[in-house]
Amino acid sequence: MARSALLNVMVQAALKAGRRLSRDFGELENLQVSRKGPGDFVSSADLQAEQTIKEELQKARPNFGFLMEESGEHEGADKSHRWIIDPLDGTTNFLHGIPMFAISIALEHEGRIVAGIIYNPATDDLFTAERGRGAFYNDRRMRVAARDDFHDCVIATGVPHLGRGRHKPYLDQLETIMADVSGLRSTGSAALDMAYVATGRFDGYWEEFLYPWDVAAGILLVREAGGFVTDINGGDDMFKSGSVIAANEAIRRHIQHGLKKAQNK
């Protein structure tokens, strides 16, 4: 299916920022890195990518607002549209030379995500979706995995790190889910974890303590690939709760059930 003009704008912005990220990835020793909190880093590459994406999107749609990880929220003259941007999801991977990171851009219209892209410049993997028009991986249609036996599933999760999340409840979750599935994985990028659910590589994914920019594009990708995304309680409050479960509906229920069981440990 041909991309809309708007999706093209998003793709062009990501490709431009991605070219620069790829150059920086090859010269990590030249980056300026600072610490936002314990275990939480930001580099000149994150900031430069955010600036490039913002400029490109603003050129095309000057009135839209922004919610961005590094520079926060800016209201636009058009209050009904807002870009939600993570310029570099997986900064820790990036800074360690691990080629698993992504640019995530979503467009929200009246509180609903209507377009989303996730782009990994290191592998040139591009995942796109528009509301009602399906989800695509490098222009091929994506579907979530159809597997419904939880025991056969590979499930992804984000592992809380220094300064992030509560570790004991997470270990209970891990213990419960891993006893039931054939494999657990973690890419270190919430955006890629969700894109991989949309492609069917991962059968499901859960994580807590996330921000809207980590998951906004991923939510649309998974839904447009035929999957289901909820917060940890099965509701629709992913942004406020910071929690996400994504999978086909049978597997999503299994994960939700497992996480509930873990709460009573």
Interacting residue ranges for Ca ion, rule: CB under 5 A: 69, 86, 88-89, 214
Using the contact rule CB under 6 A, the part of the chain among 5-13, 89-97, 231-239, 246-254 near ligand IPD is 89-97
Q: Does 91 bind ligand IPD (CB under 6 A)?
A: yes
42 contacts 6 by C-beta, under 8 angstroms: no
Q: Does 56 bind ligand IPD (CB under 6 A)?
A: no
203 is in an annotated binding site: no
Residue closer to ligand IPD by CB (options 211, 250) is 211
Task: Build a one-symbol-per-residue string for 193-232: x at contacts with ligand IPD by CB under 6 A, - elsewhere.
Answer: --------------x-xx---x------------------
> Which of Ca ion, ligand IPD, none has residue 188 at its interface (CB below 5 to 8 Å by kind)?
ligand IPD
Q: Does 188 bind ligand IPD (CB under 6 A)?
A: yes
The widest CA-to-CA distance across the chain, in whole angstroms, is: 52
170 contacts 184 by C-beta, under 8 angstroms: no
Task: Please select the residue that binds ligand IPD; options are 56, 89, 203, 224, rule is CB under 6 A.
Answer: 89
Taking the complex as a whole, the smallest distance from the CB of residue 173 to ligand IPD amounts, in Å, to 14
Taking the complex as a whole, the smallest distance from the CB of residue 207 to Ca ion amounts, in Å, to 11
Task: Please select the residue that binds ligand IPD; options are 18, 158, 218, 227, rule is CB under 6 A.
Answer: 158
Task: Please select the residue that binds ligand IPD; options are 7, 18, 90, 244, rule is CB under 6 A.
Answer: 90
Q: Which residues bind ligand IPD (CB under 6 A)?
A: 69, 86, 89-92, 158, 164, 188-190, 207, 209-210, 214
Binding site for Mg(2+), by residue number, is 69, 86, 88-89, 214
